[in-house]
Structure 1
Amino acid sequence: MLRDECFLVLGGAGLVGSQIVREVARQLQPRKIVVSSLYEVEVAEFLAEVRQEFPHIDFVGTWGDVFVREAFREVAREELLKDSKCREALYEDLFGDFQAAYERSVLVGLIRTYRPDVIVDCINTATALSYQDVERISLKTHEALRQLDESPDDSLLREQLVQDVGMLLISQATLQLIRHVRLLHQAMCEVGTRLYIKVGTTGTGGMGLNIPYTHSEDRPSVQLMAKTAMAFAHTGLLFLMARTPGGPLVKEVKPAAMIGYRRVALQPVRHRGKPRFVYEGRVVSLHDRLALREDPCRYHQKGELMMAGVDTGENGFFARGEFETITHIGQMEFLTPEEVAEQVVLEIKGSNTGHDIIAGIDSNVMVPSYRAGVLRHTALRRLRQLEKESGTHSVALGQLGPPELSKLLYEAYLLQLIYKTLKAVCQASSEEIAQVVYRYLGDHPDLCNQIISIGVPVLAPDGQQLIRGPFINIPESIYDTVEVTPEAIDRWARKGWVDLRPVNMQRWQERFARMMAAKPFLHTQGTASITRTTYLHDTIEIGEVVAWIFANEEGGYRIK
Structure 2
Amino acid sequence: MNIHVGRVLVLGGAGLVGAQVVRQIARDLKPELIVIASRYQREVREALRDFHKEFPDISFEGCWGNVFVRKQFADKTRKEILESLSKSRVLFQDVFGDKSATYQQSQLVDIIRSFKPEVIVDSINTATAISYQDVYTTSLEVENILNQIQADDRSEQARPLEKVSIKKLEHLLVSQSIPQLIRHVQLLWEAMVEVGTRIYVKIGTTGTGGMGLNIPYTHSEDKPSANLMTKTAVAFAHTGLLFLMARTPGGPIVKEIKPGAMIGYRKIEYRAIRRDGKPAMIYESQMEPLGNTVDISFRTGYNQKGELMMVGVDTGENGFFTLGEFEAITSLYQMEFVTPEEIAQNVVLEIMGSNTGKDVIAAIDGAIMDPSYRAGYLRRPVLEEMKRLEKKTNSHSVALGQLGPPELSKLLYEAHLLKIRYKTLQNVLDAEPEAISRSLYNYVRRSEIRNVIVSVGIPILTPDGKQLIRGPFINIPEYRGEFVVQSTPEQIDRWAKKGWVDLRPKNFVIWQDRFRQMLRSTTTFLNEGSTAITLRSYLSDEINIGEVVGWIFNNDPQIKGYRIKAL
Note whether the superposition's TM-score is higher than 0.5.
Answer: yes
Distance 1:497 1:5 in 2: 46
Offset at residue 530 of structure 1 (A): 2.0
- The answer for the alignment partner of 1:139 in structure 2 is 140
Letter in 2 for 1:165: L
Q: Does 1:411 align with 2:414?
A: yes
Where 1:523 maps in the other structure, the secondary structure is: helix
The partner residue of 2:548 within 536, 545, 549 is: 545
Deviations 1:343-382 (A, max 9, x none): 1111111111111100000001000011101101110011
- Bigger mean CA deviation after superposition, 96-105 or 487-496: 487-496
- The answer for the alignment partner of 1:106 in structure 2 is 107
> Where in structure 2 are the equivalents of 1:177-196 lying within 5 Å?
177-196=181-200
Distance 1:58 1:471 in 2: 58
- The answer for the alignment partner of 1:92 in structure 2 is 93
The partner residue of 1:460 within 438, 459, 462 is: 462
Whether the 8 Å CA contact 2:120–2:200 is kept in 1: the answer is yes
The partner residue of 2:506 within 498, 503, 509 is: 503
- The answer for the alignment partner of 2:294 in structure 1 is 290
Offset at residue 2 of structure 1 (A): 3.0
Work out the percentage of aligned pairs sharing the same amino acid.
Answer: 56
Letter in 1 for 2:561: G
Q: Provide structure 1 residue ranges, at least 5 long, that are not aligned to the other structure.
A: none
Distance 2:27 2:81 in 1: 40
- The answer for the alignment partner of 2:217 in structure 1 is 213
- The answer for the alignment partner of 2:126 in structure 1 is 125
Offset at residue 467 of structure 1 (A): 1.8
Q: Does 1:168 align with 2:169?
A: no
- Bigger mean CA deviation after superposition, 502-511 or 93-102: 502-511
- Bigger mean CA deviation after superposition, 91-100 or 147-156: 147-156
Where 1:524 maps in the other structure, the secondary structure is: helix
Deviations 1:190-220 (A, max 9, x none): 1111111011110000100111111111111
> Where in structure 2 are the equivalents of 1:436-515 lying within 5 Å?
436-444=439-447, 446-477=448-479, 478-515=481-518
> Where in structure 2 are the equivalents of 1:41-440 lying within 5 Å?
41-151=42-152, 153=155, 154-296=158-300, 298-440=301-443
- Bigger mean CA deviation after superposition, 40-49 or 385-394: 40-49
Offset at residue 288 of structure 1 (A): 4.4
- Bigger mean CA deviation after superposition, 142-151 or 515-524: 515-524
Letter in 2 for 1:222: A
- Bigger mean CA deviation after superposition, 497-506 or 245-254: 497-506
Whether the 8 Å CA contact 2:12–2:122 is kept in 1: the answer is yes
Distance 1:331 1:455 in 2: 55
Distance 1:141 1:51 in 2: 50
Where 2:527 maps in the other structure, the secondary structure is: coil
Offset at residue 90 of structure 1 (A): 0.4
- The answer for the alignment partner of 1:30 in structure 2 is 31
- Bigger mean CA deviation after superposition, 513-522 or 395-404: 513-522
Offset at residue 451 of structure 1 (A): 1.1
Q: Report the CA distance shift for 1:480/1:100 in structure 2 as closer, same or farther (over 3 A).
A: closer
Letter in 1 for 2:562: Y
Where 2:205 maps in the other structure, the secondary structure is: coil
Distance 2:48 2:465 in 1: 62
Where 1:540 maps in the other structure, the secondary structure is: coil
* TM-score, length-scaled by structure 2: 0.96
- The answer for the alignment partner of 1:19 in structure 2 is 20
Deviations 1:30-63 (A, max 9, x none): 1111111111111111221121111001111111
Letter in 1 for 2:76: V
Distance 1:506 1:423 in 2: 14
Note the aligned Cα RMSD (angstroms).
1.3
Deviations 1:66-123 (A, max 9, x none): 1111111111111000001110110111111111111111111111111111111100
Where 1:441 maps in the other structure, the secondary structure is: helix
Whether the 8 Å CA contact 2:3–2:352 is kept in 1: the answer is no
Distance 1:251 1:482 in 2: 41
Letter in 2 for 1:10: L
Task: State the number of aligned residues.
Answer: 558
* TM-score, length-scaled by structure 1: 0.97
Offset at residue 148 of structure 1 (A): 0.8
- The answer for the alignment partner of 2:560 in structure 1 is 555
Whether the 8 Å CA contact 2:3–2:29 is kept in 1: the answer is no
